[in-house]
Structure 1
Amino acid sequence: MIDTVTGSGPAPFAVQLKALLDKEARYQPKLSGLRLMEGASDNGLRMTARLREFEVKDLLSLTRFFGFCSETFSLAVSLLDRFLSIMKIQPKHLSCVGLCCFYIAVKSSEEERNVPLPNDLIRITQNRFTVSDMMRMERIIMEKLYWKVKAPTSLHFLRLLHGQVQSQLSTDGRKILSLDRLEAQLKACHCSFVFSKIKPSLLALALLRLEAEEQHDQQHVEAIGEALQGLQQQLNIRDGDLVCVRELAGKCLAEYATTKCSKPNSQRLRWIISGRTQRQLKPSYYKIAHLPTIPETVC
């Protein structure tokens, strides 16, 4: 049975936060496995952090191609990191692992009628493995993750914490922190391996803190700061950890804003689709884009 994060109905903030925190540690990628990837030589024989980053960027391009939600992408990244941290896979198998994680995330987050067929996914991404290969890999991933799919992601924490901050602000103050902008920043961070080792709750709070510090409306920023301070205490996050991750996020987003940043390669994704698939796709699906532009702050 596939595990889930929350119940079917809405719950108070404290209840939702406790539910996420109770499961957060159990769904974290294995740190020792991530360190092995980080220290591996880039010789084509071992999985490396760089290869993982390339795969995540391809998953983001695929998410945007189909018009899937942010939750699908965040969950796919979570599944990929968790699997890579416990299994020593060869680089040649990474595309199959990544596509299977994406497929599992799509089935968990999207409406059933929008879930593409495995054969169409393989054709669209021009992978050379078969549907049988993909189904076998999907089963391996699910078994190794003990069928626990819906992990508490940074996106869950970001949305929950953002909503709590907004509830404590005036109408004008609520315009300061744009959730769309924060989610775009989170996607950029997902593409960087370093954030795989950071707790989702800590990354979410760091992005909120970073965004608040970049604002210039002192009246509302002070109110936001007080709200974030309260959340930090509830999350039991140390000042030093928050400062460190906030600086990492700031550096990541600054690099992302430059032309030197490696973004998803749309040239690699030369879509090959059948007539049936072509008729089913919405017009927006044909718009292949790079990483989404982080929207400007709403004044």
Structure 2
Amino acid sequence: MKDLGAMDNTSNEALKLLKQLNVYLEQEYKYQPREKGLDLIESTTENDNTICPRLRNGKVEDLWSLTNFFALGMETFVLAVNILDRFLAIMKVKPKHLPCIGVCCFLLAARVVEEECNIPSVHDIIRISQCKCTVSDMKRMEKIISEKLHFEFKATTALTFLHLYHTIVLCHTSERKELLNLDKLEAQLKACNCRLVFSKAKPSVLALCLLTLEVETLKSLELFEIALRVQKHSKVNDMDVLYWRELVSKCLADYSSPECCKPDHKKLVWIVSRRTAQNLHHSYYSVPELPTIPECGCMNESESEDSGEDMSSSEDALGTSPPSDLEASFFFDYKPKLKRRTRHLYPL
């Protein structure tokens, strides 16, 4: 089998991609979570006062939800998971500290990936995540995470390889470009990120497994041959591919089953008081300032004066705060709902 670089139709762009792949292959080990630490988490039972797999996986789903809520990119989510796993693999963490650690990893990843104007404020992250920590808590935790990871946040992840593999395949194929769907591959990687076991896989191998499984479903001989050349160039042995492909395939099968509870399919039921809503960033929620419109239909001129008084009183009723247990649970949709005390509609 020919190497990718030896193919007759290899363009200058394709050669640049292969050089970039070589750079990523040299870097990936540096950003992998320590395997001994991951093994320790895997062996931890839920009764111990430290992080177990269920707590770690649940926190990753929280990061998924925060990423969706603030409309940030897939790269931010994957990097936040990488930072979280690298930190958990070298530090013994108590469950009560995990919420603060999670939001700090999310914020650190957002600062690396996103434009400054898109980075959520610390106050909004605390409020939306319901992590019950203060700004000072987050600053202290950020300092600890930064020092333990030596301020190395911009990591080479499985998403890095997945994007590069996808681009390399498209450079060499003569088939329709839309056959290999990158969005689908990213969604599958997201599902794998929610399982602790895949943090032990080399990012290049995990991305290659996702690529080859998808190519198999497309039943394209040409794409399959290109994927094999990518594997050969990456120097990934067949035993590693077979081992991780089996785990990835099982994970994706479990995830696509109706019994699996997916963060993307859950709806956020977030009920806030007017006072809380006014403190939220205007891009996440805005409180209408116009008077409410009664549902009872059109008003004539003689009724308008009296009805204006009713609308005013209903605004006062809405201004009262609901009980604290109604204030919010933070999963998993993007638009909060305001609890209404009266049967009135707000104008659009």
- Scaled to the shorter chain, the TM-score interval is 0.7 to 0.9
Q: 1:50 to 1:112 in 2, by over 3 A?
A: same
Count of matched residue positions in the alignment of Structure 1 and Structure 2: 274
Equivalent in the alignment of 2:262? 263
Equivalent in the alignment of 2:156? 152
Match of 1:201 among 198, 204, 218: 204
* 8 Å CA contact 1:65, 1:287 repeated in 2: no
1:77 pairs with 2:81: yes
* 8 Å CA contact 1:123, 1:271 repeated in 2: no
Shift of 1:14: 2.0
Give the 3-state SS of the residue equivalent to 2:105 in structure 1: helix
- Structure 2 CA distance, aligned partners of 1:11 and 1:128? 50
* 8 Å CA contact 2:157, 2:203 repeated in 1: yes
Equivalent in the alignment of 1:293? none
Percent identity for Structure 1 against Structure 2:
45
- Structure 2 CA distance, aligned partners of 1:168 and 1:259? 37
- Structure 1 CA distance, aligned partners of 2:45 and 2:150? 30
Larger Rg: 2
> Map of 1:1-299 to 2, 5 A cutoff?
12-43=16-47, 45-172=49-176, 174-216=177-219, 221-264=220-263, 266=267, 274-281=277-284, 285-286=334-335
* 8 Å CA contact 2:268, 2:334 repeated in 1: no
Q: 1:271 to 1:176 in 2, by over 3 A?
A: farther
Give the 3-state SS of the residue equivalent to 2:280 in structure 1: helix
Give the 3-state SS of the residue equivalent to 1:252 in structure 2: helix
Unmatched runs of 5 consecutive residues or more in structure 2: 1-13, 287-332, 338-348
Shift of 1:35: 0.3
* 8 Å CA contact 1:165, 1:227 repeated in 2: yes
Q: TM-score, normalised by structure 2?
A: 0.74
Taking CA–CA contacts closer than 8 Å with sequence separation of 6 or more, which of the two structures ends up with the larger relative contact order?
Answer: 1
Q: TM-score, normalised by structure 1?
A: 0.86
**Paired residue type of 1:281:** Y
- Structure 2 CA distance, aligned partners of 1:268 and 1:247? 37
Shift of 1:270: 6.6
Shift of 1:278: 4.0
Which stretches of structure 1, 4 residues or longer, exceed 6 Å deviation after superposition?
268-272
Q: 1:147 to 1:198 in 2, by over 3 A?
A: same
* 8 Å CA contact 1:188, 1:256 repeated in 2: yes
Q: Superposition RMSD on alpha carbons, in Å?
A: 2.2
- Structure 1 CA distance, aligned partners of 2:29 and 2:151? 16
Give the 3-state SS of the residue equivalent to 1:214 in structure 2: helix
